[in-house]
Amino acid sequence: MKKQIYMFDMDGTLLDLAYDELIWNTVVPNELVKHHPMQPEKIKQKLHQQYTEYQNTLSWYSTTFWSNTLQIDILQLHRLHALHIQPRAGCYELLAELNRRGHECWIVTNADLANLNLKLENTLLRPYFKHIISSESIGYPKEHEQFWHHVMAKYPFSVKESVFIDDTYRVLNQAEQYGFQHVWMISQPSSQSEMKTQLPYPSINALTDLIPFISRLS
Ligand SMILES: [Mg+2]
C-alpha cells in the first residue's frame, strides 16, 4: 500500500473547538468586563465587531495581536483554562492507526506558535506528527491563496496524493483550488454546537470514521 500524507487542522478537527469558543466567547468578554466601566453588552458587541473585522487574517489567529488590541493577557487566560483542551472523538485512535500503517501525519494549523505550543503541551498529540506547521511561520493563513505555495516550498509533498482534513469551508476550498483531491470536512467541530448538515465536502464526525476510507484513499 502506498504511504500517504494526512494533514490535519488542529482546532475543531483534532481538538474540540468548544475550548476556543469558551475562551473567545466567554472568558475574554468576562475579562474585558472586569477592566472596563462599560455595559457588558456593549463590550460584547464591540468585541464581536473586532472579531469580524480581522476574520481570515493572520491577526485573528495571533495571541499577541489580541493581547495588544484588547490590553489583556490572552495567553495567560488560555493557560488558566488549559484543562478544557480536549481531543475530539477518535483523535488518538485514528492517529495511531495511520502511524501503524506507515502513513505520515502533519498538523497544519492557523493557531499561532504560542497557542500551538500551549495545545501541544496540554495534549498527547506531538509524537504522532512528522511536521507541525503554524500559519504564523508560513506568513499567510490557510484561507490565503499563497498559503499552500509557501508550505510546498518549505515541505515538498504530493498534493494529489495527500489527504487534508479541516473544519472550515474557506480553508478546504483553498486547499481544493490548490489541487488537493482528498479533502474531508468535520461535521461537528465543537461538542457544544450543533452538527452541521449538507456539507460541501465529504465529512466525518468521529475521526475514526475515516479509517474505512484509508485503504481506498491510497
Ligand atoms: Mg479549525
pLDDT in tens, 108-121: 999 999 999 999 99
Confidence of residue 217 (pLDDT cuts 50, 70, 90): low
Ligand 1 centroid vs 38 CA: distance in angstroms? 32
- CATH code at 5-16+86-217: 3.40.50.1000
Among residues 8, 4, 2, the alpha carbon closest in space to that of 186 is found at: 8
Ligand 1 centroid vs 15 CA: distance in angstroms? 9
Ligand 1 centroid vs 187 CA: distance in angstroms? 11
Ligand 1 centroid vs 14 CA: distance in angstroms? 8
Q: What is the mean pLDDT of residues 142-169?
A: 97
Write out pLDDT tens, residues 1-18.
Answer: 678 999 999 999 999 999
Q: What is the mean pLDDT of residues 156-166?
A: 97
Buried b (16+ CB within 10 A) or exposed e, 83-93: eebebbebbbe
| Residue extents of the structural domains in the chain | 5-16+86-217, 19-83
Whole-prediction pTM value? 0.95
Ligand 1 centroid vs 11 CA: distance in angstroms? 4
Ligand 1 centroid vs 183 CA: distance in angstroms? 14
- Check whether 159 has a pLDDT greater than 90: yes
- Check whether 140 has a pLDDT greater than 80: yes
Ligand 1 centroid vs 152 CA: distance in angstroms? 20
Q: What is the mean pLDDT of residues 166-176?
A: 97
Residue 163 CA to residue 87 CA, distance in Å, equals: 20
Q: What is the mean pLDDT of residues 182-207?
A: 96
pLDDT at 37: 80
Ligand 1 centroid vs 43 CA: distance in angstroms? 26
Write out pLDDT tens, residues 39-67.
Answer: 888 998 999 999 999 998 999 999 999 99
- Check whether 218 has a pLDDT greater than 60: no
Ligand 1 centroid vs 108 CA: distance in angstroms? 10
The C-alpha cell at 77 is 487566560
Residue 186 CA to residue 197 CA, distance in Å, equals: 10
Confidence of residue 91 (pLDDT cuts 50, 70, 90): very high
Confidence of residue 155 (pLDDT cuts 50, 70, 90): very high
Ligand 1 centroid vs 7 CA: distance in angstroms? 12
Lowest mean pLDDT among 34-38, 54-58, 76-80, 153-157: 34-38
Among residues 81, 174, 70, 169, the alpha carbon closest in space to that of 122 is found at: 81
Residue 25 CA to residue 15 CA, distance in Å, equals: 17
Ligand 1 centroid vs 169 CA: distance in angstroms? 10
Ligand 1 centroid vs 185 CA: distance in angstroms? 10
Ligand 1 centroid vs 39 CA: distance in angstroms? 31
pLDDT at 80: 97
Ligand 1 centroid vs 12 CA: distance in angstroms? 4
Which carries the bigger pLDDT value, residue 44 or residue 175?
175
Phi-psi region of 56 (alpha: psi -120 to 50; beta: other; left: phi over 0): left
Q: What is the mean pLDDT of residues 126-140?
A: 98
Ligand 1 centroid vs 193 CA: distance in angstroms? 14
